[in-house]
Amino acid sequence: MKIRIIAPITSSEIVSKTIPVLRKYICGNTQISLVNILKGPASLESIYEETLAAPQVAQRVLEAERDGMDAIVIDCMNDPGLEAAREITRIPVIGAAQSAMTLAAILCNKFSIIATAKRDRFPFELLIKRYGLIEKYTSTRSVEIPVLELHDNPEKLLSSLFVESVHAIQEDGASGIIFGCTRMRDMKQDLKDALQQHGLNPLIIDPSSAALKWAEMTAGLNLTQSLKTYPYGKSFLLPDHQNLNTEFTPSWNGLLNEAVKICVMVPVIQGYRGNNWLEETQKGYAAYARPTTQITVEAIQTGPATIENQYQKAMCIPELLLIAKKAEREGADALIIDCMSDPGFDAVREAVSIPVIGQTQACSFLASALSHRFSILGTRKDYAHKFTNQVAEYGISSRLASVRTVGLTVEEVETNPERLLKALLDAGELAVVQDGAHSLIPGCTGMIGLADALQEGLSERGIHVPVLEPPAVAVKLAELLTDLHLTHSKITWPLPPEKEISGYPISES
- What 3-state DSSP class applies to 187? helix
Q: Are strands 31-36 and 251-253 parallel, antiparallel or unpaired?
A: antiparallel
Q: What is the pLDDT of residue 280?
A: 94
Q: What is the pLDDT of residue 245?
A: 72
pLDDT value of residue 22? 87
Instruction: Please tell me the predicted confidence (pLDDT) of residue 15.
Output: 65
- Domain residue extents for the chain: 99-208, 257-487
Query: Which residues is 4 bridged to in the sheet?
Result: 33, 72
Provide the pLDDT for residue 254: 80
As a CATH number, domain 99-208 is: 3.40.50.12500
pLDDT digits (tens, 9 = 90+) for 180-206: 999 999 999 999 999 999 999 999 999
Burial level of 445, CB count in 10 A (0-12/13-18/19+)?
buried
Q: Do domains 99-208 and 257-487 have the same CATH topology?
A: yes
CA dist., res. 189 & res. 14, Å (int): 20
Provide the H-helix boundaries in 4-81. 12-16, 18-23, 47-66
- Can you list the pairs that 306-315 forms with residues at least 24 positions away whose Cβ atoms lie under 8 Å? 306/268, 306/271, 306/409, 306/410, 306/411, 307/267, 307/268, 307/339, 307/341, 307/343, 307/410, 308/379, 308/380, 308/383, 308/409, 308/410, 309/383, 310/386, 313/341, 313/343, 314/343
Phi-psi region of 271 (alpha: psi -120 to 50; beta: other; left: phi over 0): left
DSSP per-residue letters across 455-479:
HHHHHHTT----B--HHHHHHHHHH
Q: What are phi and psi of 444, to 5 degrees?
A: -155, 135
Cα 380 to Cα 402: distance, rounded to the nearest angstrom = 14
Nearest-angstrom CA–CA distance, 462 and 445: 26
Cα separation, 31 vs 254, whole angstroms:
6
Instruction: Supply the Cα-derived Rg of the chain in whole angstroms.
Output: 23
CA neighbours within 13 Å on the CB side: how many for 375? 23
* pLDDT of 122: 96
Q: In what order do the strands lie in the sheet with 356-358?
A: 294-299, 261-266, 334-337, 356-358
| Closest C-alpha among 181, 114, 169 to residue 142 | 114
Question: Hey, what amino acid is at 147?
Answer: V
Distance from the Cα of residue 242 to its chain's centroid: 33
> What CATH architecture does domain 257-487 belong to?
3-Layer(aba) Sandwich (3.40)
β-sheet bridge partners, residue 357: 336
Task: Spell out, as residue ranges, where the chain has pLDDT lower than 50.
Answer: none
CA angle in degrees (0–180, nearest 5) for 152-154-158: 140
Query: What pLDDT score does 253 carry?
Result: 83
- Residue 442 forms beta bridges with which residues? 377
Of 31, 90, 40, nearest to 65 (Cα)?
A: 90
The pLDDT tens digits of the residues spanning 92-109 come to 999 999 999 999 999 999
